[in-house]
A and B are shown apart, each in its own frame.
Chain A
Amino acid sequence: MPQTRSWRAQRVIDRLPKKLSRQVVASLVGCVHCGMCTESCHYVLSNPGDPTFAPAYKADQLRKFFKRHYDWTGRVFPWWVKAKSLYTDEDLEQLKDTAFGKCTNCRRCTINCPMGVDIATLNRLTRGLLTHVGVVPEGVAVVSKDQWEIGNQMGVLKEDYIDTLEWVSEELEDELDDTWQGIPVDKMDADVVFSINPREVKYDPRSISDAAKVFHVAQENWTMPSECWDMTNFGLFSGDDELGGAASRRLYEKVAELRGKTLVISECGHGYRSTRCEGQNWGQTDVAFPMESHVLTMLRYVHEGRIKVDRTKNSIPLTFHDSCNNARSCGFYEEPRELLKLVTTDFREMYPNRAENYCCTGGGGAMSMSEYTPRRLKSAKVKAEQLKATGAKVVVTSCHNCVDGLADLIKHYKLDMKVTQLVNLVAEALVPLERPKHFEVKPAEKAAALPLAGYKILVVDDEPDELTFLCMVLEDNGATVLRAEDGDTALQIAREQKPHLMTLDLSMPGRSGVEVYSEIRNDAVLKQLPVCIVTGRPELRQVLYKQAVRPPEGYVDKPVDEEKLLRNVRKILEIEAGTD
């Protein structure tokens, strides 16, 4: 009796021939099962003994039903070549687990295959077939939806994006010279159109700020688009060429609309690969303007003498992690090293490196698939060992995905390391401007209409998104914001800068907020500093009140309500004003 087939399985089988190119077919029929790819995969190395992680095994999951339907031996004698069709939704779920949960499409197996089988491309094809019928991890579905509907993969609204650019611009007023006029948005005929990763808007505005600083010092004629600014592309991860093409076209068309001369792509491996290489192929479109990584732009600035850098400003021992998409799919690995050596003094090469480097383990969209997190972190063992062996204190990478992947594994394996990007190091190494603008907080000179104008507030929180949000709210209301991500830094800034108020998170790694609070209250200089506790752990409130010290002046629960926060801050500062 013939086996019945679910409609999803049928659609996957029907879809397959539409996605077959000559390269793909050659890769499907060319594998000899020699097993040479096995040890090239970080999943295998971290999970010895489990053959389901072997690259050839993973590729065979697609090969099986290809052979059953499109290859003659597989059609006539399926058992002889292990050909097998897909029948049920459970078969698809199993395929999903392999294609999304056991591979980051890092392409390390591909370059280690004696036959030249492009295993990573086969895995992406499998993902695309599954995406077509909606069998994808929830995170991938959500992110893809945001990219389709909102135009960027993190669902950042236009107002929030513009707000961020505005406050980054305002912040830079303090640091840059008088010619700084803010980040230019939608400027026509710019020499450089700068596109970014939405993660920078949401969690890492410092990288936007640092990039802006570099552009400004280099006196670049640059701009950022108000819309269609996202250079990332979840089509690469979901295998959905339609999404890949649409997302790329949006950006290409925006650059053309602005009559930009060069599209510069901020440091992001998959964004660079998608925008620079794959987008034109997915979208079947040709692009008239050149595109380059921001790393290359910065390197050019140094070579052309447009910026001057002092490498002694970055003297901590550091190593470089090659993003898979940059190194193995775009050949982009020497330029970051060249730049790195110009802006740092203690660079240590990781081994293996360049195109042979191991994946950060957060690639291929893995960071958005929470259901596979334990597996991902277990598979990161080999990467952790690799990082540890360098003896470096900082790992530099040119990829936002890698930043998150590495930060996660560093935390998990308790490595004494931090992650940063080249743009941060270049900005740090920039020599002081010739016409620095001396900045001093003068409340009267600030926009008088803003309620917190003239007040210096120290925000302490270890969660980058929370920190960004709090800073944004307070700055929007006129405050000069100082920020700290841990207790020690907070105490140091408080002593040096003497803020009018501190907002303090209680749950932080290292010295907790409770300890910091006690120290403030017991410190002769700091004990009068008003503190507003901002925490998601209400039970810690009791701990604070049990201390034999003055209780905090304010208290705000997480998730933070903007109005409540401002009410608290205003109330505390009014009290202080009255006291003074």
Chain B
Amino acid sequence: MSSFLHFAQHRLQEICLGIMALVYTARLVWIFRFKPGKERQATTARRNTDRSKGQAYSLLNVAMPWSMESSRRNLFFYLQFVVFHLGVIAALGLSFVIPYAPQLLQPTVVLLLQVLMGAACLVGILRLIRRATNVYMRAISSPDDYFSVAMLTVWFASAVLAAPNNIAEQGEWASLTYFLLTAFFILYVPFSKISHYLYYPFTRAYIGRTLGHRGVFPLQRGPKPANAPELRAQLAPAPAKEG
């Protein structure tokens, strides 16, 4: 292994992670400077719910595609979301496994990681296409939105190639590309929309507390009529995809 690759796998990652931690700490300090709003009124929850249940429901919402109409009606999109985020976890995990526990990269594990990250890469491409072609998505997208998804997509591809960690046969380029991209990714994330995972606990916990206190969360749905699919199709025509 060249000294540059060693630097890219170890010291560079450590520096970038340190900077990320500093930036995130500053970000958390910033967000905690704002006072939280308070619900003074007595609860309106007459059913078996309260702040805590609402909060738990809200935080776990991500794992309950049936809980929101938007994910319930777009299960393929939800599946993409799952694959994409598992891909991120896998690719990030890989950046620790290669330098610190390479023995874990047995052929089956490598294959599983490659399938997962490859699928995430495909999802990234689909999302870029959707963002660029859907009139609504185009209207709300900033350069950061495009760049973040594009960067992650390329990063997934590099992770697929780096996963076998076979420098002797492959050469260093795959690993080097992956670790340099990981370093850039870690540095860029706190300044981009990718840092949404830092805010997720705030937004979900607060809306969950509020709507739990008010008896809205967990959402209760009424009986579905037999002709629900037709009604749904009738009520919610698919919005135009092309602008």
Show the binding face of B for A, using Cβ within 8 Å. 31-32, 34-42, 44-47, 49, 58, 61-62, 68-71, 73-74, 77, 81, 130, 134-145, 191-193, 196, 199-200, 202-204, 206-208, 210-211, 214-216, 219-225, 228, 231-232, 234-240, 243
Contact = CB atoms under 8 A, between A and B. Distances in A.
Contacts of A23: 36-37, 202-203, 206-207, 210
Contacts of B193: 31-33, 81
Interface in A52-78: 52, 54, 56-57, 60, 72-73
A21 B37 contact: yes
A17 B69 CA distance: 33
Given A49-B239, A331-B214, A332-B44, 9 more contacts: A26-B31, A26-B199, A30-B199, A36-B70, A36-B77, A38-B239, A290-B42, A349-B222, A349-B223
Given A25-B31, A26-B31, A281-B40, A334 B216 contact: no
B216 A355 contact: yes
Interface stretch (A113-121, A369-377, A538-546): A113-121
A35 B134 contact: yes
Interface in A321-353: 327-335, 349, 351-353
A387 to B, nearest CB: 10
Contacts of A37: 70
Q: Shortest 5 CB-CB distances between A and B: which pairs?
A: A331-B215, A51-B139, A26-B202, A49-B240, A116-B204
Given A30-B202, A331-B47, A115 B237 contact: no
Interface in A368-419: 382, 385-386, 389
A507 interface: no
Interface string A19-30: 011111111011
A276 B236 CA distance: 33
Nearest to B148: A32
Given A349-B222, A351-B224, A35 B140 contact: yes
Interface stretch (A39-47, A215-223, A552-560): A39-47
Nearest to B26: A72
B131 to A, nearest CB: 8
Among A278, A281, A352, the most chain B Cβ lie within 10 Å of the Cβ of A352
Nearest to A282: B40
A9 to B, nearest CB: 22
Range of interface residues on chain A?
35 or more
Nearest to A290: B42
B35 A22 contact: yes
A44 B135 CA distance: 12
Contact of A276 (B41, B130, B135, B216): B41
Contacts of A36: 68, 70-71, 74, 77
Contacts, number: 221
Given A35-B140, A45-B235, A389-B231, A115 B204 contact: yes
A329 B216 CA distance: 7
Contacts of A512: none
A356 interface: yes
B240 A48 contact: yes
Nearest to B34: A22
Contact of B69 (A40, A116, A276): A40
Interface in A6-26: 20-26
B199 to A, nearest CB: 4
Nearest to B49: A331
Nearest to B196: A32
A349 B62 CA distance: 29
A180 B15 CA distance: 82
Given A21-B36, A332-B215, A354 B62 contact: no
A22 B31 contact: yes
A110 interface: yes
A114 B220 CA distance: 17
10 contacts: A21-B36, A29-B31, A35-B137, A36-B71, A48-B240, A56-B140, A115-B199, A278-B41, A333-B220, A349-B222
Nearest to B139: A51
Given A25-B31, A351-B224, A356-B219, A385 B137 contact: no
A439 interface: no
A150 interface: no
B211 A331 contact: yes
A351 B228 contact: yes
B237 to A, nearest CB: 6
A110 B208 CA distance: 11
A356 B221 contact: yes
B140 A33 contact: yes
Given A331-B45, A334-B220, A80 B36 contact: no
